[in-house]
Amino acid sequence: MKTDRILWVDWLKFLAIFGIVGIHVSSSLLTPDYLFSIQWYQGVVAASLFRFGIILFLMASGFLILRKRQSIQDIPRRVKRVLVPFVFWLILYAILKAVFTHELGPSWAFGDLIDFIIRGFLDPTIISVQFWYVYMILGLYILSPIISGWIQNAPIEEIKYYIWIWIIISILQFFDVHSILFDYLRYFTGAIGYFILGYYLVIQKDELFKNRTFGAILFILGSAITIIGTIGLSFVTHGQSLSFIKLGDLTPGAFLQGIGLFIIVFNTDFTKADGRINEIVVKISKMSYGIYLSNVLVINFLEKFNLMHLNGITLIEIFIYIILVIILSAAIIKIMDMLPVLHLFSGD
């Protein structure tokens, strides 16, 4: 496959959206109703295996943006590419939620819908849970001229210093260690660390991080920590504990998974892969943001019309439904992208 694209980045984004859809598909099993059932255990395994989703998106974006100095003049273009599809999907989700789930009550008025949408822009998670990512990535894009300006002039030891503080503070927060010091070090926590880590892992010279076997070990270890931690804590507390499965947070398992997969993908020569496979990966990569915004709606549709059943060999079913949801979401995005006003929907 002849291409001027960075194939390993496309593979990162492809795996990222696969993992995110996997989290959303398997989440219906992580409820107290299924606790300690065969379906629940399989749901825990699936949800644990896919924790890398958002992390890979952040690391891919971090590499692409921080590898060169970002101009403040580029911010409006980046913000537009994020906001235009988001505004459309937020309004669509809000309307469908009001009509089909009676979110606003059985006899809502147009003014109620407008109020719901306005509140949705202030807190998009009240309309659909995955929308939290939009404001997070917008924040990173807005800060990117400052971050890239520092990182392009910083010695690698300085970048490593930042990452180590980020890791230490984040892990202490995960274990709920309280200290007023942490309140004043919040800029060392959260998504910005993964953003910088995606760039650092490419430029660093440590041979260990060029070893795919080491990456596989990290991924397996991270998955095991999440699975064992979730099941173990649930047994200890006699109820479902999802401390190791948190949206958007740095957990030990997700952290190791993300680094492990990044190492594997970055050190793989995908030009040797089948050209047809690479073409599919690139297409999904280009549509990954649109699929991210739309996939929950597709899942809700399948559930609403009883077209998704997770009651057999659940792990196999989850993988089948992930593929189905990605195909349906990609088809929707492709159709919308044919309309000139919605051209940004499948943007890269």
Task: Retrieve residue 226's tokens.
Answer: 């999440």
Q: What is the pLDDT of residues 81-101, one digit of tens each?
A: 999 999 999 999 999 999 888
Answer left, alpha or beta for residue 239, where phi above 0 means left and psi between -120 and 50 means alpha.
Answer: beta
Rounded to 10 deg, the angle between the 7-26 and 38-49 helix axes is 160
Q: What is the pLDDT of residues 171-214, one digit of tens each?
A: 888 887 777 877 777 777 788 999 999 999 999 989 999 999 99
Q: Which helix (H) or strand (E) holds 248?
A: none
Cβ partners under 8 Å of residue 244, min gap 6: 48, 225, 226, 229, 230, 233, 251, 252, 253
Please state the pTM of the whole predicted model. Answer: 0.92
Q: Which candidate, 69, 67, 55, places its Cα nearest to that of 23?
A: 55
Q: Which candidate, 76, 120, 80, 78, places its Cα nearest to that of 97?
A: 120
* Residues 327-336, mean pLDDT to the nearest whole number: 90
| 5 band by pLDDT with thresholds 50, 70 and 90 | confident
Per-residue pLDDT at 211 = 95
Q: What is the pLDDT of residues 257-315, one digit of tens each?
A: 999 999 999 999 999 989 999 999 999 999 999 999 999 999 999 988 888 877 766 88
SS3 98: helix
Please check whether residue 23 is in contact with residue 50, taking contact to mean a CB–CB distance below 8 angstroms: yes
**Residue 341 reports pLDDT greater than 80:** no
Q: What percent of the chain has pLDDT over 90?
A: 68
| 340 band by pLDDT with thresholds 50, 70 and 90 | low
